[in-house]
Amino acid sequence: MIVILTKTFAILLALIVISKSYTDLRLRRESLLMFLFWTTTWLGIVLVALAPSIVDRIIAIGGGQAGIGTVFGITFMFMFFVVYRIYVKLDRTEQKMVRLVQELAMEDAKIEKPPVKRSSVSDDA
Amino acid sequence: MERTRTVVVVLPAYNEGRMVRDVIAHLPDSIDGIPLIPIVVDDGSSDQTSRGARDAGALVVRHRTNLGVGVATRTGFRAACELDADVIVTMDADGQHDPNDLPTLVRAITNGDCDVALGTRPISFRTMPWSRYIANTLSYAVVAMLYGRRVDDSQSGFKAFTRHAVETMELSANGYEICSEMVGEMFSKKLRYRSVPIRAIYTEYSQRKAQPFLNGVNIILRLLAGRLIHVR
């Protein structure tokens, strides 16, 4: 039951991602290269979900040294690296937006230094 | 060359059209003869926050989009430095802080006692709503764990700073985690600080505007993530 659910879920997710990517390509919000990348990646995921034994064959081609655990370990490591990179990029983009909004806000407010007056405190203090 | 000393009160505000006018109206014009300038940083509000603040006599700096209280506070600091402020105070715009506490906070700075005066609320189940009590207690623990020291109320938004302190702190937080970040910077830059007891006013309005409990957890996570990314 769980296996069938997983396979259905993988196909559904792939359909969503590929159709979204295709829409973006048509609206010229995404390049052909990115569309091909996402389509190939998700077709690969569906292939592995429908026929998990393909992983064993790939391992066998590679000399049969690595176990399934190693493959999953490498996949997890790669996924977390991608997540980390996305997080850092998002953080940088957010900081750039912050700087932009702050600059605009300061320009709009037209804050000027108060006039120098003869009064209570010296700059040396 | 001599110039007038000024106290600038920074009030980050998001959709505070109902309260901001009242809050500004209750601020004193000066403290011990030092003129006070309120700066409202409207963080992309969709209501009349900017107009209300301007009508009440505040200087308004408006973000074109909502970025968070941390960014609004940083913008306010920048504006205060442009105004050559000697003392910079941060205060909530929802009426949670009592303007009568302002002179005590400012005097802690002008007397030269410290670089940062931390407005400290009485932390107890009796004086604070339970959800806020738990969220704050957790935050204090995280701050103590991250920075190796603790203060009485690290999450208080009512603080006073010397301009030197504001210029020294390197702040990057965008949301409510800025309160903890300020405390961390205060420790790492070896700024002198003092806790000043203040009164917190928990009205129905300020309770409605308060951050939900889960946001407190989110703040802690962002604080931890921020420490990982911005390791200095």
- Which pLDDT tens digit goes with each residue over B63-113? 999 999 999 999 999 999 999 999 999 999 998 899 999 999 999 999 988
Task: Give the tens place of pLDDT for each residue, A99-111.
Answer: 999 999 999 988 7
Beta-carbon contacts of B3 under 8 Å, excluding residues fewer than 6 positions away, are A114, A116, A117, A119, A121, A123, B84
Q: Is the ipTM of this complex over 0.85?
A: no
More confident residue, B201 or B56: B56
Which residue in chain A has the smallest CA separation from B225? Answer: A87
Question: Any alpha helices (H) in chain B, and if so which ranges?
Answer: 20-25, 49-55, 69-82, 102-110, 130-147, 163-168, 178-188, 204-209, 213-229
Rounded to whole angstroms, the Cα distance separating B229 from B137 reads 24
Q: Which residues of B touch A110 (CB under 8 A)?
A: none
Percent of chain B with pLDDT strictly greater than 90 = 57
Helix H or strand E encompassing B2? strand B2-3
Min Cα–Cα distance to chain B from A46, Å: 33
Rounded to whole angstroms, the Cα distance separating B123 from B113 reads 24
Please indicate whether, in this complex, the C-beta atoms of B62 and A98 are within 8 angstroms of each other. no
Percent of chain A with pLDDT strictly greater than 70 = 84
* Closest CB to B78 among A94, A106, A123: A106
Residues of chain A under the 70 pLDDT cut: 62-66, 112-125
> Considering the entire predicted model, what is its pTM?
0.75
